[in-house]
Structure 1
Amino acid sequence: TVNASYISVVNAQDDSVDWTEGFSGTLTNVYVKHGSEHDKGIEADGFNTDIGNNSNPLFFSKPTVENLTIKGLGSGTGNEAVRLRAGTQGIFKNVLIEGFEEAFDLDGDQGDSPTGAGVTSGDLHVTDATFTDIITKLKNDTGVTFTEGDFISGDGNGTGTDYASWGTLWTRQ
C-alpha cells in the first residue's frame, strides 16, 4: 500500500482524495480547497463498486488520515466533504472541515457494503475534529444504528493540516 504526506489539492473537478480496493496506507497533512466544479473532498470505497468485492476472504480499505483540512464554498452549496461507502473503514485524526452542508456522509448496508459496521466495531471513526459552517456533521445512510458520538470524538479539538511542518516554500490558498 502507499503512504503519502503533504498533499494539497485545490479546485479539483472530481474527488480530491479517492480510495478503493483495500487501500490501507497513511495520509498525513492533507489540504483540500473546493472550487465551483468540485465534487467530494474525499470519496472512500472499501472495494471497487464497479466490479464488486471479489477478494477471498473479503477485505475493505482501512487507511489512516491525519491532519486533514477540507475547505468548502459554504454550507448553502449542498456539498459533502467526505463520503465513506462500500464498507470502507478508516481512522481520521485531527480534522478541520468548513463550509459544507454535510461533513461526513456514510453509505452502505448490513450486507456486502458494511460501512456502518465499521463504526460499531471501532474500525471507522474520527478523533479530534472541528466543524465550521457545517449543517450536518454526520449523515448515516448505512442501516446500522449508531450515534454521532460513536463516530466522532473530540468535537471542537481538531486543528487540521500542520502547515508549519511544510517548510517555507509552500503556500496555501
Structure 2
Amino acid sequence: MKKSKLFLSILTIAALLGSCSDDDDNVTPGTDDDGGVVEQKDDVIDSQDDPDLDPEDLKGEVRADVTITADSEWMLTGALRVVDGATLTIEPGVTIKAQAGGTEVYMAILQGAKIDAQGTAEEPITITSAAENPRSGDWGGLILAGYANINTGEFAQTEVAEITYGGDNNEDNSGIIDYMIVEYTGARIGGTQEFNAITFYGVGSETSISNIMVRYGDDDGLEWFGGTVNVTNALVVNAKDDWFDWTHGWTGNGKNFYGIREFGFNDVTEDPRGIEADSNESNNDASPRSNPTIDGLTLYHQSTANMSDMIKIRRGSSATITNAVVAIFAAEDENAGTASDFIDLEDGSGNGSSETSISVSALGGIDATAIKNVGATITVEDGNTGADTSVFAWTGYDFPSLGTESED
C-alpha cells in the first residue's frame, strides 16, 4: 500500500510540473484553456458566431441567416454556397476580395436561398480579386439559381459548380442585389464551361436586381439561363466574350443596359458579341421561348479587336429592343476594330425569331447595311439616346462621349 501511495504522489507531482511548463501542451483540441468546448471549422456556416464565418477565410455551406459585415474586409478563399432556407446579407460598403483560385472560388445562391445585398450609391458592395495584379479569370463569379421556368426540361444543372435550377415558379424570389460591383471573374473549366461575372439560372421575377457594374470578365458580363428576373441599370465593361447573353427561355425585362469594350482592351474569345441571344439550340420551338424586352441599350466598341456581331439573336430567341445605340469608334488615331455583322438573326442551329423587333441608331464605324434579319422588324433610325449613363455615377466610371477617346 505504501508503494502505491508513493507512486501516485510521484505522478501527481509530475503532472503539476508538466502543467506549469506549458499551458498549451495540455489543452484538448476543441476546448479552450478552461476546458470549455470550442467549435471547430467544418466548412459549414450555421450561425453568425460560427468560426467558418471568418473574414480571413470565407468559404463553406451557409445553412442559416448570416451577415457579412462592413466592419471587416473579407477574403473569399473557396466556394461560398447559400442553401435552401438561408439568407446571406451583405452590408453596404462591404468589400469581398476573392483569392485568385480559379474555378474553386465563387459565390452561389442556391434554389430556395436568398441574397440581401443592398448597397447604396455612397457605399456600394464590391466583390473583386485579391491578386496584387488582378486580371480577368482570377476567380469564378456570382451565381443565383431559382425555381423559374427554363426550356430544357423542368430542371437542369449548371455548366459549372453542379447547381440545380429551374422549376415552375416564375415568381420565385432569390433576394435583392442593389449597387454592386463585380470584377475579374470568369475562371474556366474548359472551352464551354466557364463562369460569368453574374449568372442568373432560372431566377424568378420577385428577385430584385438593380444598379450593377461588372468589369474585366474572362467570359460574359451578364448571362441568363431561362427565368423571368428583371434587371435595371446594368453596366458591363471589358468582358472578354459577350457583354449580355441569354438562353434557355429568359422572358424578363432589361432596363438601361450599357456595354463597352474600351480602347486597349483587346482580349477576345473566338466570337465576342455585344448581345448573344439564344433560346434552345436543340429545339428552337421549346417553351418558354427566350423573349426579353430591353429598353435603353448602348453597345460601344472602342477596341482595335474585332467583334463577331454587335447583336446576335438566334436559335429560336425573340427579343424586343427599344431605344438602342450601337457604335464603333476608335480612340486616338487608331483604326477601330470591326464587327462581322451589325445585327444577325441567322445561325446554322436555327435562326432568331421573326417576331424580334429592334429600334437602333448606328454610329461611327457600324455598317448599317450588315443586317441579316430573317423577317424580323429592324428599324435603323437617328435620334436614339441609348442607356442613361447618369444613373451609373455611383460607380465612378468615366464614360467616353460617343466618337471620342476614353478618358479612363
TM-score, normalised with respect to structure 2: 0.34
Q: Residue 29 of structure 1 aligns with which residue?
A: 256
Could you tell me how far 1:152 is from its partner in structure 2? 2.1
Q: Residue 27 of structure 2 aligns with which residue?
A: none
Q: Could you tell me which amino acid in structure 2 is paired with residue 105 of structure 1? A: D
Q: Residue 229 of structure 2 aligns with which residue?
A: 2
Q: Residue 134 of structure 1 aligns with which residue?
A: 366
Distance 2:357 2:241 in 1: 24
Could you tell me how far 1:162 is from its partner in structure 2? 1.3
Q: Residue 60 of structure 1 aligns with which residue?
A: 289
Q: Residue 125 of structure 1 aligns with which residue?
A: 357
Q: Residue 394 of structure 2 aligns with which residue?
A: 169
Could you tell me how far 1:113 is from its partner in structure 2? 2.8
Equivalent position to 2:345, from 90, 98, 106:
106
Q: Residue 242 of structure 2 aligns with which residue?
A: 15
Say if 1:163 and 1:28 are closer, same or farther in 2 by CA, change over 3 A: same
Could you tell me how far 1:76 is from its partner in structure 2? 8.4
Could you tell me how far 1:61 is from its partner in structure 2? 0.4
Question: Do residues 155 (structure 1) and 346 (structure 2) align?
Answer: no
Distance 1:64 1:23 in 2: 10
Distance 1:82 1:97 in 2: 9
Say if 1:12 and 1:19 are closer, same or farther in 2 by CA, change over 3 A: same
Equivalent position to 2:301, from 63, 69, 72:
72
Q: Could you tell me which amino acid in structure 1 is paired with residue 357 of structure 2? A: H
Say if 1:17 and 1:152 are closer, same or farther in 2 by CA, change over 3 A: same
Distance 1:13 1:6 in 2: 21
Say if 1:77 and 1:114 are closer, same or farther in 2 by CA, change over 3 A: closer
Q: Larger strand proportion, structure 1 or 2?
A: 1
Could you tell me how far 1:167 is from its partner in structure 2? 5.8
Say if 1:61 and 1:54 are closer, same or farther in 2 by CA, change over 3 A: closer
Distance 2:306 2:284 in 1: 37
Q: Which moved more, 1:8-17 or 1:76-85?
A: 76-85
The one-character-per-residue Cα deviations of 1:110-155 (angstroms, maximum 9, x if unpaired) are xx8352xx33xxx20112x210120245432x7x4x4xxx622361
Say if 1:54 and 1:42 are closer, same or farther in 2 by CA, change over 3 A: closer
Say if 1:159 and 1:41 are closer, same or farther in 2 by CA, change over 3 A: same
TM-score, normalised with respect to structure 1: 0.76
Q: 1:74 touches 1:98 (CA, 8 Å); kept in 2?
A: no
Alignment coverage as a number of residue pairs: 154
Identical aligned residues as a percent: 25
Structure 1 residue runs of 5 or longer lacking an equivalent are: none
Distance 1:5 1:172 in 2: 20
Could you tell me how far 1:158 is from its partner in structure 2? 1.4
The one-character-per-residue Cα deviations of 1:29-53 (angstroms, maximum 9, x if unpaired) are 1110124224111100022x3xx23
Q: Which moved more, 1:98-107 or 1:150-159?
A: 150-159
Q: 1:5 touches 1:27 (CA, 8 Å); kept in 2?
A: yes
SS in 2 for 1:169: helix
Say if 1:108 and 1:77 are closer, same or farther in 2 by CA, change over 3 A: closer
* RMSD over aligned Cα atoms: 2.7
Structure 2 residue runs of 5 or longer lacking an equivalent are: 1-227, 329-337, 400-408
- Larger RCO (alpha carbons 8 Å, 6+ apart): 1
Say if 1:78 and 1:42 are closer, same or farther in 2 by CA, change over 3 A: closer
